Amino acid sequence: MADYHGSECTVVNVLRDQVSKDPDRVWIVTEDERYSVARMDARSSALARGLSGLGVAAGDTVLVMLPNCIEFIDCWLALARLRAIQVPVNTAYFGAMLEHLVRDSRATRIVVHESYLEAVGEVAGKAGSLLDTMIVVGAAPGPAPAGPTPAGLRRVAYASLLDDAPAAASGGVMPAYNEVASIMYTSGTTGASKGVMVTHAHSYQYAAGGNSLQLGPGDVYYAPLPLFHVAGQWAVIYNCLIRGAAAVLKARFSITDFWSDVERFGVTTTFMLGAMGSMLFRTTPGHRRTSLAKVLMSPLIPEYREFCDKFGVQVCTSYASTEVNGVIATGFSPPNAATCGRVRSERFEVRLVDELDEEVPVGQVGELVVRPKLPWIVMAGYWNRPAETQAAWRNLWLHSGDLFRRDADGYYYFVDRLKDSIRRRGENISSVEVENAINSLPEVLESAVVPVPSELTEQEVLACVVFRPGQSLAMDALHTRIAALLPKFMVPRYLAVIDAVPKTPTGKPQKFRLRDEIRPGQLWDSLGEGRRG
């Protein structure tokens, strides 16, 4: 499959081109159905007409809070046709975190699965929310589906938008490759989450990448990652559209189902987080040979060579972020388990710099900063946040916030996150947001949240808690109270009680000291092991 260039790099153009070449080519495979490119073209065209009838127009932000389902892909394509802006919502969000995203996006409409209606209803009427319409997936067709609707909100069944709409693709003004296609909210590290403005060209380059997987016609790509993340929607689904492959759409990753799914769908390719690879390697007895041939694993597990031998596959890895795109990757023979690869030098220029933005020597640790060689392929900025955008782009380099080192052969090695973000099983977690939840408990004086290594690669969350004088809680009770305030993926696994959070003379927390000073015997482990050893 040939790459697309310049103004061709919009999903609307790519889909139309694929339909013109082979309309019956299967793009999406679900548990029950197979969707050709022509069928997805017709579905998204019909939905675009329905959304237009509700007033959705170019430049409008539309929230999409859906699980992995074909309707999510419909929405992505339909909103692109209308030149509207898709705003995916993490389906674990509720309360203050969901309220912030709804308010900050300035969206007046949300496409939401009926299972999340309660969470949306709780924030829809709060100050700052502009929501006036809920488009509900899973509800029966009709203009006013049954069930509670928050006061002041119009409720429309998603299926009704497809009724009576022409099946054929419509014309209209094509989106430009430099227009914002999506606002992807990444976990905030110094406060609330920020919305990254992603252009059509940016999402295309993230999807197509350097094609380390050598994806092409005949490949069946299995990667049950959430579609509200860039990896699920772009690296898998969009990449398959571009490369002529088929994508298997699953609700979630399951060790129990993995090998049966490989056999059932004829899977040739998969994308797995390091934690997934580690669990699969540890729980699968003996050697296994299947149709699976290619694996993108991020990060690599220490036993990646044994993984390749055990399952008869080739493995590659990469480094990417929502802001800077996919800038570093390996081929199918990484030199070691620690590297992320080399720079995609045909697309990006990269440096490692110190706190003054001076480049550091080879072997020393510095922050990764990036400049694109093609227009519009890194973030267009943070939505509604000009000051944060300017700070990220200081000295004309886009600052990633991630620390790396580089060896003499040009291979890059991830060291740590410069900011207080924690990476846990594919999710970026803001330590500040977790601390805010913990500090809201009346018994707590202050807290500090830090990452600790996970046996499954990436990190686990440790919350160090200082109780108010005369106050205390049993650890299991404290954990239960915290879990009631946060999405499941953000709830700390480990707890520790400390006398005070270490600080600088100016009062800023010194979290690195906690990572160094907390001993394993001090940790309470929510998984029931009692203490972490």
Domains 207-370+398-417 and 421-531 agree in fold: no
What pLDDT does residue 185 have?
93
Question: What average pLDDT score do residues 405-411 get?
Answer: 96
Q: Which of 239, 246, 248 is closest to 217 using CA atoms?
A: 246
pLDDT of residue 143: 47
Cα 188 from Cα 193, distance rounded (Å): 4
Q: Are strands 421-424 and 61-65 parallel, antiparallel or unpaired?
A: unpaired
Q: What is the CATH number of domain 6-200?
A: 3.40.50.980
**Over residues 201-206, mean pLDDT:** 96
For 237-264, write each residue's pLDDT tens digit: 999 999 999 999 999 889 999 999 999 9
Distance in angstroms (rounded) separating the CA atoms of residues 43 and 316: 35
Query: What is the CATH T-level fold of the domain 207-370+398-417, as seen in this structure?
Result: Rossmann fold (3.40.50)
The average confidence (pLDDT) of the chain is 90
* Alpha helices, H only, 69-178: 70-81, 95-105, 117-124, 158-162
E-strand stretches of 178-234 = 180-186, 194-199, 220-222
CA nearest 478: which of 511, 445, 443?
443
Closest CA to 223 of 176, 277, 270, 162: 270
Its CATH class, for the domain covering 421-531, is alpha beta
472: alpha, beta or left? (left if phi > 0; alpha if psi -120 to 50): beta
More confident residue, 236 or 451: 236
Can you give the residue ranges of every domain in the chain?
6-200, 207-370+398-417, 421-531
pLDDT tens sequence across 38-89: 999 999 999 999 999 999 999 999 999 999 999 999 999 999 999 999 999 9
Q: Is the pLDDT of residue 418 over 80?
A: no
pLDDT tens digits, one per residue of 476-490: 999 999 999 999 999
Question: Taking the C-alpha atoms of 244, 250, 255 and 259 in order, what is their torsion angle to the nearest 10 degrees?
Answer: -50
473/443 Cα distance (integer angstroms) = 8
- The least confident of 99-113, 136-150, 425-439 is 136-150
Flag whether pLDDT at 108 surpasses 80: yes
Instruction: Give the integer Cα–Cα distance in Å for 405 and 449.
Output: 25
Q: Does the pLDDT at position 529 exceed 90? A: no
| Res. 370: pLDDT tops 70 | yes
